A and B are shown apart, each in its own frame.
Chain A
Amino acid sequence: MAEEMAMAESGRSRRKFVKTQGRKKSNKKTKGRPSPHEQKKVKIDQKMKKLFRKRAREYNSDDEEDEATVTAASETRLLPSITNKRPSITNKIIEEDNIESEDQSGDEGAAGPLKKSNKNATDVNNHSSDDEGEDESEIQPGITKFTEGCRAFKMAFRNVMKKSIPDDMLGPILSAHKKLVIEKLGEEEAERKIKGEAKKEKQTLAEKGHVKPATYLDSHDKFLISVATKGVVKLFNAVNKAQTAQKGLNPSRIKEAKEIRKRTKKAFFSELGKPSLPSIGATTKVTEGTDDQQPAWAPLRDNYMLTSSKLKDWDKMPDKNVSDDMGRASEDSSSDED
């Protein structure tokens, strides 16, 4: 109980202290703007320093960037190490900040001193012996106010954003892992390359022989088309001859049917055998030429459905018909249709 009471007492007394100090400051303030020298007179004792450091450590255990913020805010000692990298920028910022904070903090100058730059930090120890009594009260404001923390964070963030990162393919990573990551990425790259090559090879193999035709007709294709056209014309003419011959006669009457057969035969042979038009040859398998002795209706013929017998010894005795046609085809080097 007694202890508690004492604690309470001390707390109250402290509060009083703060108040008194505040009043003091305000008094000072009324006199004029506080000079930086006065604010340097801040003493941080070892205990509190340790505490802050610990807090800072805890706070920024997960991020590099935050370290800068916190240290900037609470631990002035760490500042030089960070700001050294870019003294020109950070120092300026910090100084600006100091001025601003001084402007803004107004009465509560107590927080101000902790926001000081390197110089202040070095001075702190020197001044520590000066006013022991006041220090007790001065320490507490060492915990940064929210607004100032914000500012510090802002500053640090700006810092980070300003940092020009080397155009590495890796981007920013923790240096410890850099080697590993590079290795891994390199490996992956190599793998991908190999895979891609294999795929490409496969693709070319699959595409072998595949030719995209040109949009125009080259001479060879023109020639081929003309050959094919010749063939079609020949066939159509032959068909025309054969079919016009039987026009006008009724095939159902026996007499006329005979007449038709005669005519068509004549017409067809005249078409086929014309020496002046050798190109007409080679309508190879046109049925009409061969089966004049046999019944017209296919099933009555002797060789009905037996045509496949030809297939059995197709190589020994190619039938005469074909070879004939071949002979004719050779003349004009074009044989047509079937």
Chain B
Amino acid sequence: MRKNKPGFRKPFVMKKLKQPQEQPTVDPVTGKKIPKSFVFSRGKIPANLKQLQMDLRKLMLPYTALSLREKKRNNLRDFLNVAGPLGVTHFFILSKTATSPYLRVATTPQGPTLTFKIHDYSLAADIARSQLHPRCPKDLFKNSALIVLSGFVSGELPLRLTTNMFQNIFPTIDVKTIKLSTCQRIVLLNYNKDTKLIDFRHYSIRLQPIGVSRRLRKLVQSHQVPDLRNLQDVSDFVTKAGYGSESEADEEAATVTLSSDIGRVNRASTKSAVKLQEVGPRMTLQLVKIEKGLCSGEVLFSEYGKTGGKEEGDDEMQGEEDAEGDKEEESEDEDEDEDEELD
């Protein structure tokens, strides 16, 4: 009976799928192109390198594909094809050979490729484990990191290229309009002239008002009723000095006058101390090779001297299409070459 009841039928409503908010490809203020990145791996890599890959993705965060899935049969060309429409400008490619893991940083679509040998690395989890109070505020990864390059001497081509590359990896900031509250993390690349190694660190930035006792700061921050049991008078809470700051001397150098409020504690035009705490992956890199193309093309620089001229000739002979198609094999070959050289 009920079934036959005419007239009433639940209208079919097409549900609009919630579209993920599209990220702008261009900075609304400065009009510069926002660099975006893919972090992926080539070949089979062990679990901890996968974790490193994940950490790197988090480091690159707002403008990267956090849950990028790669399959065995995906080759570089697939990523390149996707990169165009998505506006991806940089590739981080992790790979592993018998001697060591490698990180390649490349500009798409035809940018130079820098190959770094990862001498050693620590995961974000390792670092958090080594710290007494690991810190991770929830909006830490909402904004892109700042980058600090240090020790890169001008003049040498490979170094210049490296600095150029890394500066372009993160979005430019406009001093006039930037909000200081968006500066939460910093990536440091420190080049050591003697060892030719690059230290790659990732820190979170914390600001603390100077001249305020720890108790008051905590009170303002946490908004909780303080423990007054041990005090004779309420005024003691304010006047009594707590623990002395552990690094009073350092703070002198690391103080900043803020132009705007950051959080509840750091008010505009007050002095604040800048404190950094390490968060992310830590790597020691060595620049091994620079190629003109994307994982192919003329070798501009090689740590171990020029590789055989044959390779270059081949690359020049091939059209772009071919070069892309053969990328997989080539890159693998090159890895092997490096290994031989290392041995």
Task: Pick out which of these stretches binds chain A: B163-171, B224-232, B310-318.
Answer: B163-171
* Minimal beta-carbon separation of B339 from chain A (angstroms): 13
Q: What are the residues of chain B within 8 A of A21 when measuring CB–CB? A: none
Task: Pick out which of these stretches binds chain A: B54-62, B121-129, B319-327.
Answer: B121-129
The verdict on B302 contacting chain A, using a C-beta distance below 8 Å, is: no
The verdict on A2 contacting chain B, using a C-beta distance below 8 Å, is: no
The verdict on B245 contacting chain A, using a C-beta distance below 8 Å, is: no
Q: What are the residues of chain A within 8 A of B148 when measuring CB–CB? A: 227-228, 231-232, 334-337
Q: What are the residues of chain B within 8 A of A27 when measuring CB–CB? A: none
Q: What are the residues of chain B within 8 A of A228 when measuring CB–CB? A: 148, 186, 188, 201, 203, 276
Choice from A213, A243, A298, A329 contacting B260 with Cβ under 8 Å: A243
Task: Name the CB-closest residue of B to A238.
Answer: B175
Complex Cα distance, B163 from A338, in Å, reads 11
A209 touches B186 (CB 8 A): no
Task: Name the CB-closest residue of B to A222.
Answer: B250
* Minimal beta-carbon separation of B268 from chain A (angstroms): 9
The verdict on B130 contacting chain A, using a C-beta distance below 8 Å, is: yes
A301 touches B153 (CB 8 A): no
The verdict on B47 contacting chain A, using a C-beta distance below 8 Å, is: yes
A209 touches B130 (CB 8 A): no
Chain A's interface size range is 35 or more
Choice from B33, B157, B183 contacting A307 with Cβ under 8 Å: B33
Tell me the chain B residues, 4-58 only, with Cβ under 8 Å from chain A.
26-27, 29-33, 46-49
A207 touches B176 (CB 8 A): no
B122 touches A211 (CB 8 A): yes
Tell me the chain B residues, 130-151 only, with Cβ under 8 Å from chain A.
130-132, 146-151
The verdict on A285 contacting chain B, using a C-beta distance below 8 Å, is: yes
* Minimal beta-carbon separation of A226 from chain B (angstroms): 8
Tell me the chain A residues, 300-318 only, with Cβ under 8 Å from chain B.
301, 304-305, 307-308, 311, 314-315, 318
Tell me the chain B residues, 142-196 only, with Cβ under 8 Å from chain A.
146-154, 157, 160-161, 163-164, 167, 170, 172-176, 178, 180, 183, 186, 188, 190
* Contacts A209-B100, A210-B122, A237-B256; A333 near B154 (Cβ below 8 A): no
A233 touches B33 (CB 8 A): no
Choice from B32, B154, B254, B274 contacting A329 with Cβ under 8 Å: B154
Complex Cα distance, B32 from A286, in Å, reads 11
Task: Name the CB-closest residue of B to A237.
Answer: B256
Task: Name the CB-closest residue of B to A308.
Answer: B33
A233 touches B203 (CB 8 A): no
The verdict on A196 contacting chain B, using a C-beta distance below 8 Å, is: no
Task: Name the CB-closest residue of B to A232.
Answer: B274
Task: Name the CB-closest residue of A to B256.
Answer: A236
Tell me the chain A residues, 21-66 only, with Cβ under 8 Å from chain B.
none
Complex Cα distance, B32 from A297, in Å, reads 11
* Contacts A239-B178, A298-B30, A335-B149; A209 near B101 (Cβ below 8 A): yes
Complex Cα distance, B188 from A334, in Å, reads 10
* Contacts A318-B164, A329-B149; A233 near B254 (Cβ below 8 A): yes
* Minimal beta-carbon separation of A234 from chain B (angstroms): 9
The verdict on A288 contacting chain B, using a C-beta distance below 8 Å, is: yes
Task: Name the CB-closest residue of B to A223.
Answer: B190
The verdict on A163 contacting chain B, using a C-beta distance below 8 Å, is: no
Q: What are the residues of chain B within 8 A of A242 when measuring CB–CB? A: 175-176
Q: What are the residues of chain B within 8 A of A327 when measuring CB–CB? A: 154
A224 touches B122 (CB 8 A): no
Complex Cα distance, B40 from A302, in Å, reads 35
Task: Name the CB-closest residue of A to B117.
Answer: A209
* Contacts A209-B121, A212-B130; A243 near B274 (Cβ below 8 A): no
A287 touches B30 (CB 8 A): yes
* Minimal beta-carbon separation of B175 from chain A (angstroms): 4
Tell me the chain B residues, 267-321 only, with Cβ under 8 Å from chain A.
274-276, 278, 282, 292, 300
Q: What are the residues of chain A within 8 A of B335 when measuring CB–CB? A: none
Complex Cα distance, B343 from A95, in Å, reads 81
B188 touches A315 (CB 8 A): no
B167 touches A334 (CB 8 A): no
Q: 14 A-B contacts, Cβ less than 8 Å apart? A: A205-B46, A210-B121, A211-B121, A225-B278, A229-B253, A232-B148, A232-B256, A236-B183, A286-B174, A326-B152, A334-B149, A334-B151, A336-B149, A338-B146
17 A-B pairs besides A210-B122, A323-B160, A334-B151 with CB distance below 8 A are A207-B46, A208-B100, A213-B122, A213-B127, A233-B255, A237-B257, A240-B259, A243-B175, A243-B259, A243-B260, A285-B173, A286-B175, A299-B31, A301-B31, A330-B154, A333-B150, A338-B172
- Report the 5 A-B pairs with minimum CB-CB distance, sorted nearest first: A298-B31, A206-B46, A326-B154, A231-B148, A334-B150
